[in-house]
Amino acid sequence: MKNLSLLTLLSIFPVLCSFAQNRPRERGIIFGVLPTGGHNSITDVAGVKVGHFTKIEGDEIRTGVTAIMPHGGNIFQEKVPAAVYVGNGFGKLAGSTQIMELGNIESPIVLTNTLSVAAGIEGVVRYTLAQSENEKIQSVNAVVGETNDGYLNDIRGMHISPKEVIQAIEAAEGGKVAEGNVGAGTGTVCFGWKGGVGTSSRKLPESLGGYTVGVLVQTNFGGNLQIDGVAVGEKMGRYPFRDAMEKSDGSCMIVVATDAPVMDRNLERMAKRAMMGLAKTGGIASNGSGDYVIAFSTAEGLRVKHEAKSGSLDTAESIRNDDMSSLFMAVIEATEEAIINSLFAAESMDGNHGHHVEKLPLDQVMNLMEKN
């Protein structure tokens, strides 16, 4: 792989991830009781698109960008209701305070590495300003999250450019989403094994509204790995504090999408439940972990028009509190599965300073699962 050109890598890598995935469901591991959407992906929420830019160069560069588009139109002109929940704040989530203040998102959501957040902001701003109808816009609240991929990636080199961020945005599409060592998950490490990007979805029955909930994660955190209730990390000898020199720090970015008509207050309640899904995988939100959840609704009736007439009133209808519980369950189940999907899809990687991270040993994991 070291001898392949970057262009070749970028052209074949997403294809390999898309068609060679080895998801836990394919091996008989079922998370929760709710059915998945058609692709078991955040893109099962109608209109949501995902794009990756993967950068693998030489022996040291292992990083990338993942972009999530809440809908296919001009997001600045048609903002979506949104919320942020901070599970543990040791990280950087650009644009979060405006989401908390106004309850909406006006840009693509970009995930990348810690020292590329500035490039992410510039890329999102340039993309937004260049869109038709935005010619007079003078302020853009770019939403950019991160995890630190510095173990495998030369993070100090700041190898992501605004142009590459735009490439990820423009590559966004619906359908199947590449997982594992791709985009923002290229250089991440999770539970001591290779982490990455993962996604999952849940489809509620018609009796509960028929809504879809989708989750995408960038996994780069530690803890005692559990898969469907089995303490895999402990049984395989990898868990926090086993050795005083080992660390369980790291971060996890979680993006939750739904087509349910949910306003920002209840979207925040959904975002909180994503941390329960993380906990079910054995994540502990350690002191040095930046664990953030961004949740948004694609419901067209709730979109905020940028050019709304002054003095007009919002009259949108939204789900009552009493009907939120099924959506809470959907978030928990989809988050848990998305995290495990990221591990199952990831491949072993060599990187910066000769560091090597093994992929999760799936055969060994399955042996443990079958014994429980």
With tokens 């600045």, the residue in question is 76
Q: How far apart are the first and last CA of the chain?
A: 38
Counting beta carbons within 10 angstroms of the beta carbon of residue 11, is it exposed (0 to 12), middle (13 to 18) or buried (19 or more)?
A: exposed
Among candidate residues 41, 248, 289, 342, the one labeled active-site is: 289
327 Cβ contact partners less than 8 Å away, ≥ 6 residues apart: 204, 211, 213, 258, 260, 262, 270, 319
Which of 79, 143, 138 has the alpha carbon at shortest distance from 106?
79
Q: Compute the distance between CA of residue 64 and CA of residue 52 in angstroms, rounded to an integer.
A: 7
Is 18 considered catalytic here? no
Contact 223, 48 (CB under 8 A): no
Output the CA torsion sign for 341, 343, 348, 352. Answer: positive
The single-letter code of the amino acid at 324 is: M
Q: Compute the distance between CA of residue 225 and CA of residue 338 in angstroms, rounded to an integer.
A: 14
Beta bridge partners of 200: 215
Look at residue 225 and give its three-state secondary structure. Answer: coil
Counting beta carbons within 10 angstroms of the beta carbon of residue 22, is it exposed (0 to 12), middle (13 to 18) or buried (19 or more)?
A: middle
Q: Compute the distance between CA of residue 183 and CA of residue 218 in angstroms, rounded to an integer.
A: 9
Q: Compute the distance between CA of residue 324 and CA of residue 63 in angstroms, rounded to an integer.
A: 37
The single-letter code of the amino acid at 90 is: F
75 Cβ contact partners less than 8 Å away, ≥ 6 residues apart: 69, 105, 106, 107, 108, 128
Instruction: Compute the C-alpha angle 108/23/334, nearest 5°.
Output: 50
7 Cβ contact partners less than 8 Å away, ≥ 6 residues apart: none
Among candidate residues 44, 154, 264, 291, the one labeled active-site is: 291
Among candidate residues 41, 251, 286, 342, the one labeled active-site is: 251
Look at residue 371 and give its three-state secondary structure. Answer: coil
Is 289 considered catalytic here? yes
Residues belonging to the active site = 251, 289, 291
